[in-house]
Amino acid sequence: MKKFKKIILFILLLNSLSIYSNELLDADEAFMLHDYSTAFSLYEKLSEEGEVAAQFSLAMMYDAGVGVSQDYKRAFYWYKKAAEQGVAEAKYNIGIMYINGQYRDKGSVKENYEQAFNWYRSAAEQGLVEAQVNLGNMYKNGQGTPRDYKQALHWFNASAEQGDVKAQFNLGEMYKSGHGVPHDYIEALKWFDIALENGNEISVTYINYISKKMTLSEIETAQKLAREWIQDH
């Protein structure tokens, strides 16, 4: 799933660019046609010339082992080149590599949560929703940074506003437990309802649990708030 997500990010990045060189278009076409040898050669040439979209694409190919032997060091190298040019998706994928222990700085342990945190934070600040929810989880769990529920809430809110269902569920859980916010079953039920509407079936268990602790009026208020939020988004 992580590799699939990276490929999706790769496609989204390329589609977001408004100007392509002919060679980059040829590389993209070759990749989509599964002519990975041609795509790799073109991406490598363009990457050396500083083309940021090609750098990200080349990193993805090394990362996933598509058209070339899997090589995390080379993937990291080209992700970092793209990240240095401001590509949030590259920063996010570097964070994933540190979390999974696919890249290790000299002398580091297998997983490096501190480095992952830093890269996620940089990508999150650029508005990348996947990085925002991962950053929220790191604050919530105290991974790579001291536990900070208020910061977790901030980043879950940011990603929930962009439609991330995991963040929406996490907000419900935080309001249910009173982590970083006052204990509030109405807000908790609102977010669990929103998460359920967006396909998070685990929310059903939480909805059933907290509904038993609420009055009918409180439940109706939460459901109304959820409907309004969904309509606004």
CA distance 81 to 99: 19
- pLDDT score, position 53: 92
Q: What pLDDT does 1 receive?
A: 43
d(CA 126, CA 141): 22
Domain 2-167 in CATH 1.25.40.10: yes
Residue that the structure tokens 């950053």 belong to: 135
Tokens of 22: 């002919």
- Predicted TM-score (pTM) of the model is 0.86
Buried b (16+ CB within 10 A) or exposed e, 180-211: beeebbbbbbbbbbbbbebebeebeebbeebe
Rounded Cα distance, 212 and 191, in Å: 17
The Cα 97–Cα 92 span in angstroms is: 9
| pLDDT given for residue 169 in this prediction | 98
pLDDT of residue 21: 73
Between the alpha carbon of residue 88 and those of residues 69, 132, 169, the distances in Å are 25, 11, 24
DSSP character for 46?
A: H
What is the reported pLDDT for 104? 62
> What does the pLDDT read at residue 15?
44
Structural domain boundaries in the chain: 2-167, 168-233
**Who's near 152: CB < 8 A, 6+ residues apart?**
136, 137, 139, 140, 170, 174, 179, 180
How confident is the prediction along the chain (233 residues), in pLDDT tens digits per residue?
A: 454 455 545 554 554 453 557 888 899 899 999 999 999 999 999 999 999 999 999 999 999 999 999 999 999 999 999 999 999 999 999 999 999 888 665 555 478 899 999 999 999 999 999 999 999 999 999 999 999 999 999 999 999 999 999 999 999 999 999 998 999 999 999 999 999 999 999 999 999 999 999 999 999 999 999 999 999 98
Query: What pLDDT score does 93 carry?
Result: 95
CA atoms within 13 A on the CB side of 206: 26
The dihedral over CA atoms of 176, 231, 88, 43, expressed in degrees to the nearest 10, equals 130
The tokens for 108 are 């580091």
